[in-house]
Structure 1
Amino acid sequence: MAGRQPDQPALKIPRGRTADGRIDYLALTFRELDAEVDAWCARLQAAGLRRGDRTLVMVKQGLPLIASVFALFKLGAVPIVIDPGMGLKSFLRCVARSRPRALLGIPLAQIISRLFFSTFATVQIRLPVSPALTSRLTSQAGCHVLRDTFPVADVAADALAAILFTSGSTGAPKGVCYEHGMFEAQVRLIRDHYGIEPGEIDLPMLPIFALFNPALGMTTVVPEIDPRRPAQVDPAKIVQAIRQENVTNSFGSPTLWLKIQRHCLAHGITLPTMKRVLCAGAPVPAALWEKPVRWLPHGQLHSPYGATESLPISSISQREIEQITNFQTPNPKPVGNAPTLGFGRLDFGISAPKGAAVGRPLPEISIKIIALTDGPIATLAEARELPVGEIGEIIVSGPVVTKIYDALPEATALSKILNPTRTDPKGSASANLGFGSLEFGISGAPCAPVWHRMGDCGCLDADGRLWFCGRKVERVQTAAGPLFTEPCEQVFRFHPFVVRCALIGLGSPGAQTPALVVQPIADKSLDHRALAHELRRLAVAHEPTRDIARFYFHANFPVDVRHNAKIHRLQLARWAATAKAYKVT
């Protein structure tokens, strides 16, 4: 983009407030950002960094992060990105497994690398990075202007480009091996599906998404948010940035957008420049789908579906949700002489909950639903594909689907399915590709096409639309069959006293008792027993939830560190083993 739109702003980084209260930004054009990237290339090369070198990036969001990562890509080195909020113990395990040769890190990162020297034993190059978000190499004293730009390394499409770690929301964090061609496919699918045009302005509330923007020709406005604690963001600061900088696009979790929506509605604020809000990380609640027209007058709310291992897979818009969702429901009947909280009518939203609609597959993406199994599936021939409407495990294939986890062959075997035959565009098929005959690219990934097991349960409807029904590991396995979190929780989460709820299983898989953990509104006078009876009324009115008769109340749910939206249901199940239950028959 530096050649096509050199003088357009590429990056705006907050550095305080002006006298009149406006956000003061350091602004760089695409030409200036390109020069900063080249300055980083010079520094990295001078330190001895080579093509293919694994480089752990422990840098705060801002200019140093964006410039250094693009410099690594330009040189053909491999950035390793680990979520900073996962906790030190998990973080150190990720470092040890990824075996970086170089470390780009703020002072605290350098100290950690010395304190835990055995974990960082493979690190040969240490480059200190300023913790200041606006730190520039091209403006520091003594830094000359580069006369020669650095050429982009000539790398193969299947060469290892980066290792991005999952958040570990339902298991140990895993390093996902990205190839250069996968990043190119992501940019293409995102640009084409959402109609993103050069010159747009983005405010990404997940730092990694800022790396797409230069390729899309979008200006990046860095938000005032702590990526380690995104749920603590001040929505007023986000709203001010959007309105002041005429932002057209923004990505964030449902937790963040609910806070922003509440702020806008409470203060009568609209965001007229916004064309699209991308909301992902967990199912989008009905409260978000129902109200964006009041604060997003000229834009659309979209919910893309995917994972670190494969993104984007599908997407659904506010307009499509309005077409398929019915918010009218019959009033649940009382159970016996149950106490109540005074509600004559308890509408719980979608009349026939079957999950969260996440849209049709994007171009170049294939989706199948297969029978549930917890063991590995070597080839697609071993999987049993399910018919329309039946819930199973979601598997996906396409150019954005990654092939392996770094240094985790067992996890790779559990998550990847090889396609036994490969047909080219002309219709001819190659030889059967078994595990023994695989060829491997630079990344160590099999060259055969693969299907990724999302670890999610779901189904396809007659219109080819995908419905998300919950994480496979969190399904409740009763003697009568499995219960899935999303369809069951939808029945209860519309109750006005329910902030969050989580379906859990008590006992051994195959003979589990379903139960519901509820995070109620913060009200000390709330009668938990009466609320349990009202939730039981909702349960018996709906087929999948009729056996839920045990209710727990938890003040603050454990959630993932990346989005602050994914509920840790297995952790809640362990807590419930010794907690007080309200049993309603």
Structure 2
Amino acid sequence: MTVVNVSRFLDEKAQTQSEVAALMVPRGRDSHGKIDYLRLSFRELAAEQNEWARRLRAKGIGKGSRVLLMVKPGLPLIAICFALFKIGAVPVVIDPGMGLKSFLNCVRRSQPEFLVGISLAVWVSRVFRKSFRSVRAKVKVGGPLDRVASGFAEEAAADTQRDDLAAVLFTSGSTGAPKGVCYEHGMFEAQVEAIRRQYQIEPGEVDLPMLPIFALFNPALGMTTVVPEINPSKPATVDPQKIVQAIQQCGVTNSFGSPALWAKIGVYCDSHDIELPSLKRILMAGAPVPPTLMKRFKRILTNGHVHSPYGATEVLPVSSVVDDEVLEIAAERSARGEGTCVGRILEGVEARILPLKDEAMEVGDLQRALPAGEIGEIVVTGPSVTKAYDQLPEATRLSKIVDGERVWHRIGDLGYIDADGRLWFCGRKVERVETVDGVFYTDRCEGVVNVHEKIFRSALIRYETDGQVVPALVLEPFAGMYPKSSDEEQALLREVRSLAAACEVTADIRHFFLHKGFPVDVRHNAKIHRLTLAKEFAGR
């Protein structure tokens, strides 16, 4: 059988782009205020990978070993990840910002045999010994600038196959408990090819990934990775000036980040009249991208576009939409309550809309696909679709449909495909509000009121009054625009009610509330915790 190992991408670039910068890690400022970077070529990064592979093998880590990876973004994270791929071990990556209780639950369930992490991670494993009971050896790692290789030496890759487990990546848990997603080597290869093809990424480009996991695609794409000055566990605290400086100084051509991050950066660019001509593309994902945000970046990106890829940890990418299509066609339809356009299905991916069902689906359900325009559950299949959750057979049964050799994934989202073949997102299945008068969908209702100039975002919630379940909308005004008096509050609510009453989708919503700051997910700081909001407003 043919060996398929993700580490080959870095080995290949060490030959074809040996002296091109692979990684740039900030280490302070020089006397002129410029960012001082540690710069490694692809050959030097491959040397780091190979040295780590030798060290990890010496610790007893080998093919199939589960390794909990707790390392800060920077040099060791990328080098160690590719080293683990090379030796056939399985990195287990858990979001550090999900909260200690959830984090420890994930550790216990994933049963790692080894821990590779910074000093704090080793300390946590000692304090919470029971959760780390499965760990039999620990490897301490230094900071983001830590180098281990003094020269280049070859290291053989394990003979992994396409369907061998490559990594366990945990979901953010924004609408439920976090789950470990099992990625195979072949799935990673399919993702790389899909991203390269869809966005026409070329070797030699420069990427600023504001979600650390996305930096792992860059060696495969031949892109330089510029590590951003950002706290990955608290991305909303990003200093936009630092991100803009990195883009300008390094000639960044590509960047990935959530709408919440780009909203802050966009405001900064507007207030300082900044353009970013080097950027060819911004990929915004993690939550629906407001058309107003895309419009703001039309001025800032003089030579590029905003793209919004759609998918999930379990399958990415599924579809993609570009700013021009949103602003020219989709924005007006979103304001009419038609949902959020997430673009056309990518080549090699197949999507269907099935009738809503809370129980497990069988292969026969695939034959009941709904016609264009009808809202149902989005299911997809393709080479990057994962097959299982780690150690969670019941969750796997509920989320997957086995169709011979193909596996379909139930994303947990509701939507429809329009007559022109575009996929529209209407909201998460668990966040729909079912009433005696019908079903209300989050993205359809929120799109109607989000066009108000003072509303940053809104959230449809399930609300109980007089013993009945009804829909309600919670409104978060832009920073600095929150009403300063009761009269101003009532005036704003009247304006929003008027907007809602004028649209058929929201005409029956009678309850509106104001909120100063929504609870959001830790990974993107963009996905609204609507179920948490519903509990907060219960009984009001």
The AA in structure 1 aligned to 2:88 is G
Gaps of 5+ in 1: 140-144, 328-348, 423-447, 580-585
Report the alpha carbon displacement of residue 287 of structure 1 after superposing the two structures with TM.
Answer: 1.4
Three-state SS of the structure 1 residue aligned to 2:15 is coil
- The reply on whether 1:16 has 2:21 as its aligned counterpart is no
Q: 1:487 — aligned with what? A: 444
- The reply on whether 1:185 has 2:190 as its aligned counterpart is yes
Q: 2:145 — aligned with what? A: 134
Report the alpha carbon displacement of residue 246 of structure 1 after superposing the two structures with TM.
Answer: 0.3
- The reply on whether 1:404 has 2:404 as its aligned counterpart is no
The AA in structure 2 aligned to 1:552 is F
Report the alpha carbon displacement of residue 120 of structure 1 after superposing the two structures with TM.
Answer: 0.8
Q: 1:160 — aligned with what? A: 165
Report the alpha carbon displacement of residue 382 of structure 1 after superposing the two structures with TM.
Answer: 6.4
Three-state SS of the structure 1 residue aligned to 2:286 is coil
Could you state the TM-score of these two structures normalised by the residue count of structure 1?
A: 0.87
Supply the distance in 1 between the matched residues of 2:530 and 2:295 (Cα, whole angstroms): 26
Supply the distance in 1 between the matched residues of 2:327 and 2:498 (Cα, whole angstroms): 27
Report if the CA contact (8 A) 2:21-2:40 is conserved. yes
Report if the CA contact (8 A) 2:310-2:319 is conserved. yes
Report the alpha carbon displacement of residue 350 of structure 1 after superposing the two structures with TM.
Answer: 4.5
Q: 1:274 aligns with which of 274, 279, 283?
A: 279
1:70-469 maps to which residues of 2 (within 5 A)? 70-130=82-142, 132-138=143-149, 145=151, 148-325=153-330, 327=332, 350-381=334-365, 384-419=368-403, 422=404, 448-469=405-426
Map Cα deviations across residues 106-136 of structure 1 (whole Å, 9 max, x no partner). Answer: 1111011111111111111100011x21111
Report the alpha carbon displacement of residue 522 of structure 1 after superposing the two structures with TM.
Answer: 3.1
Compare the two structures and name the one with the higher helix fraction.
2
- The reply on whether 1:576 has 2:537 as its aligned counterpart is yes
Three-state SS of the structure 1 residue aligned to 2:533 is helix
Supply the distance in 2 between the matched residues of 1:26 and 1:113 (Cα, whole angstroms): 30
- Structure 1 stretches of 4+ with a deviation exceeding 4 A read none
Q: 1:498 aligns with which of 443, 446, 455?
A: 455
Report if the CA contact (8 A) 2:330-2:340 is conserved. no
Three-state SS of the structure 1 residue aligned to 2:112 is coil
The AA in structure 1 aligned to 2:399 is S
Three-state SS of the structure 1 residue aligned to 2:214 is helix
Supply the distance in 2 between the matched residues of 1:350 and 1:164 (Cα, whole angstroms): 32
- The reply on whether 1:64 has 2:73 as its aligned counterpart is no
Map Cα deviations across residues 535-583 of structure 1 (whole Å, 9 max, x no partner). Answer: 211111111111111111221100000000000000000111134xxxx
| Range with greater deviation from structure 2 (497-506 or 69-78) | 497-506
Report if the CA contact (8 A) 1:477-1:511 is conserved. no
Supply the distance in 2 between the matched residues of 1:511 and 1:149 (Cα, whole angstroms): 68
Map Cα deviations across residues 325-363 of structure 1 (whole Å, 9 max, x no partner). Answer: 364xxxxxxxxxxxxxxxxxxxxx845221111111111
Supply the distance in 1 between the matched residues of 2:116 and 2:295 (Cα, whole angstroms): 44
Supply the distance in 2 between the matched residues of 1:115 and 1:390 (Cα, whole angstroms): 52
1:469-484 maps to which residues of 2 (within 5 A)? 469-484=426-441
The AA in structure 2 aligned to 1:452 is H
The AA in structure 1 aligned to 2:400 is K
Report if the CA contact (8 A) 2:192-2:221 is conserved. yes
Q: 2:6 — aligned with what? A: none
Q: 1:3 aligns with which of 11, 15, 23?
A: 15
The AA in structure 1 aligned to 2:429 is K
Report the alpha carbon displacement of residue 32 of structure 1 after superposing the two structures with TM.
Answer: 0.4
Supply the distance in 2 between the matched residues of 1:321 and 1:395 (Cα, whole angstroms): 23
Supply the distance in 2 between the matched residues of 1:159 and 1:173 (Cα, whole angstroms): 23
The AA in structure 2 aligned to 1:90 is S
Three-state SS of the structure 1 residue aligned to 2:308 is strand
| Range with greater deviation from structure 2 (541-550 or 490-499) | 490-499
Could you state the TM-score of these two structures normalised by the residue count of structure 2?
A: 0.95
The AA in structure 1 aligned to 2:434 is Q
Three-state SS of the structure 2 residue aligned to 1:67 is helix
Two-structure CA RMSD over aligned residues (Å): 1.5
Map Cα deviations across residues 427-486 of structure 1 (whole Å, 9 max, x no partner). Answer: xxxxxxxxxxxxxxxxxxxxx311100100100001111001110100010112211000
Map Cα deviations across residues 229-283 of structure 1 (whole Å, 9 max, x no partner). Answer: 1011000100000000000000000001111111111101111011000000000
Change (3 A) 1:308 1:351: closer
- The reply on whether 1:44 has 2:44 as its aligned counterpart is no
Report the alpha carbon displacement of residue 62 of structure 1 after superposing the two structures with TM.
Answer: 0.4
Aligned residues: 523
Q: 2:514 — aligned with what? A: 553
Gaps of 5+ in 2: 1-12
